[in-house]
């Protein structure tokens, strides 16, 4: 059954959205819609009516249909990185939606296309985008201090009395409508279930890509994953799909082990239950250490444990957690002479625009079990409840319906 399309009401050239919009009515105009606005560190998000400007050159305005909350939103909401405090702001970077209208020069998308935002964009033209060794982009790589659009540094969001509202991570998805650079938007097969595609926008791509692209986990190898949120469990999915023989999950919240077991993890450790450092236990369990470890908790002490858990000579530690405190890597340079390696992974080393459509198809074929990641669903208006579920460690991903 097609959705009935309510006519938007129009006042002073601004279109008030009530339900789904008709691009013929809204293109080129300011849209009035709901957004969850952050006004200060750790303050409840406030559902406000805001103005969303039309997209400028090479920008796209989309209607968000689903969004979810990742730990990076949580860190930003808490204001953990003081340099990155900017209010009012619209957080959120994991979502799926439909193109409402495109700005001048956008050739690869049109109104009605199904899309997934990517916070780590791909312009396709710069020296990084042309290099096979990296998925960073000169213009659209993650810059937590960026608060406006790339073209002019300005915000496309404002309050009804004209105060600018800052953007976040090239995406700002806690809004019924958002404006992105077209480099930060991936067109997805219209047959793919958009609800599940939301997970590809960050968590699942980040974790799974770290196992496949960054570490290139080999069949029969051993793996330790520190932090079993959506990111850590996505690493587990990736390692399982590659045929890892042992996948050890480490978390201080034992509730996470139930899910981990369902997703193919073979062993679990709670550091709180151990009388020795977790890396010693892991080395015992694996005759000298795992081949790969992944830090998905965003904690420097955990990172050191992850590093020491790998086998000397060839062990590789991949850092996925965001570490907001201004402390340095907890390693002595001489420790690297033991042949353990350490590297970071952003967005699972996927080049978003080029590789995500294929990854989406793999997910649709069931290579990855996406259903397990959606533990809760709520209407957008209950976003603060969703935030609390993540704070309390009760959810992996709570899908918000807009
Ligand atoms: N030791 C082991 N596990 C820990 C520790 C610790 N000291 N501290 C926290 N954890 C666990 C939590 O119990 C939780 O299960 O880490 C997990 C983190 O999961 P989520 O909060 O759901 O975070 P997620 O969205 O998976 O992101 C993980 O990757 O992208 C980054 O910013 C993100 O740093 C975050 C990380
Ligand atoms: Zn994220
Ligand atoms: Zn680029």
Counting from 1 in the atom list of ligand 1, the atom nearest the Cα of 396 is 22
9-201+370-401 and 207-345, same CATH topology: no
Residue 12 pLDDT: 52
Which of helix, strand or coil describes residue 42?
A: coil
**Residue 307 has what pLDDT?**
97
Q: How far is CA 225 from the centre of its chain?
A: 18
Cβ-based burial of 337 (10 A; exposed 0-12, middle 13-18, buried ≥19): exposed
Structure confidence by residue, pLDDT tens digits, 365-383: 988 889 999 999 999 999 9
Q: Which residue puts its alpha carbon closest to atom 22 of ligand 1?
A: 229
Please give the distance, rounded to the nearest whole angstrom, from the Cα atom of residue 29 to the centre of ligand 2: 31
CA–CA distance, 248 with 282 (Å, rounded to integer): 8
Identified catalytic residue from 26, 61, 80, 137: 137
DSSP class of residue 258? H
Residue spans of the domains in the chain: they are 9-201+370-401, 207-345
Higher pLDDT among residues 124 and 9, named by residue: 124
Q: Which of the four pLDDT bands, split at 50, 70 and 90, describes residue 143?
A: confident
Instruction: Count, in order, helices (H) and strands (E) of the chain.
Output: 10, 19
The mean pLDDT value for 33-40 works out to 97
Query: 278 phi and psi, to 5 degrees?
Result: -60, -30
From the candidates 89, 93, 279, 323, give the one annotated as an active-site residue.
Answer: 93
**Is 340 among the catalytic positions?**
no
- Res. 2: pLDDT tops 80: no
What is the mean pLDDT of the segment spanning 30-50? 96
pLDDT in tens, 313-339: 999 999 999 887 677 888 898 999 999
DSSP per-residue string spanning 126-180: STTTT-TT----TTTS--TT--S-TTTS--SEEETTS-EEB--TTT--SBSEEEE
Domain 9-201+370-401, what architecture? Alpha-Beta Complex (3.90)
65-86 tens-digit pLDDT: 999 999 999 989 998 877 778 9
Q: In terms of DSSP bridges, do strands 59-68 and 46-52 run parallel, antiparallel, or are they unpaired?
A: unpaired
Q: Report pLDDT for 21.
A: 61
Helices 278-285 & 300-308 angle (0-180, nearest 10): 30
CATH superfamily of 207-345: NAD(P)-binding Rossmann-like Domain (3.40.50.720)
Residue 121: predicted pLDDT: 97
């Amino acid at each position: 059954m097609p959705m009935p399309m309510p006519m938007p009401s129009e006042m002073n050239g601004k279109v008030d959205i009530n339900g789904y919009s008709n691009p013929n009515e809204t293109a080129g105009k300011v849209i009035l819609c709901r957004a969850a606005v952050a006004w200060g560190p750790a303050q409840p998000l406030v559902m406000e009516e805001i103005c969303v400007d039309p997209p400028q050159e090479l920008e796209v305005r989309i209607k968000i249909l689903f969004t979810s909350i990742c730990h990076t939103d949580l860190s930003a909401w808490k204001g953990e990185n003081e340099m990155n405090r900017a209010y009012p702001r619209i957080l959120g970077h994991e979502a799926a939606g439909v193109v409402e209208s495109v700005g001048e020069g956008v050739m690869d998308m049109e109104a009605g296309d199904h899309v997934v935002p990517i916070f780590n964009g791909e312009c396709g033209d710069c020296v990084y985008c042309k290099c096979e060794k990296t998925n960073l982009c000169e213009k659209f790589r993650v810059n937590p201090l960026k608060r406006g659009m790339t073209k002019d540094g300005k915000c496309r969001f404002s309050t009804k009395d004209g105060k600018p509202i800052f953007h976040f991570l090239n995406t700002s998805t806690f809004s019924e409508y958002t404006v992105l650079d077209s480099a930060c938007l991936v067109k997805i097969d219209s047959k793919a279930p958009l609800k599940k595609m939301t997970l590809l926008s960050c968590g699942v791509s980040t974790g799974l890509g770290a196992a496949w692209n960054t570490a290139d986990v080999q069949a029969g190898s051993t793996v330790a994953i520190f932090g079993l949120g959506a990111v850590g469990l996505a690493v587990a999915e990736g390692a399982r799909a590659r045929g890892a023989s042992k996948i050890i999950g480490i978390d201080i919240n034992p509730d996470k082990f139930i899910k981990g077991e369902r997703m193919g993890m073979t062993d679990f450790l709670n550091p709180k239950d151990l009388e020795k450092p977790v890396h010693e236990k892991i080395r015992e369990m694996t005759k000298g250490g795992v081949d790969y470890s992944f830090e998905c908790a965003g904690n420097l002490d955990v990172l050191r444990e992850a590093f020491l858990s790998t086998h000397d000579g060839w062990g590789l530690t991949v850092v996925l957690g965001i570490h907001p405190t201004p402390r340095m890597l907890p390693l002595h340079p001489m420790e690297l002479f033991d042949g353990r390696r350490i590297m970071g992974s952003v967005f699972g080393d996927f080049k978003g625009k080029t590789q995500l459509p294929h990854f989406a198809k793999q997910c649709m074929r069931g290579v990855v079990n996406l259903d397990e990641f959606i533990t809760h669903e709520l209407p957008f208006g209950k976003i603060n409840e969703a935030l609390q579920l993540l704070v309390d460690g009760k959810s992996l991903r709570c899908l918000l319906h807009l």
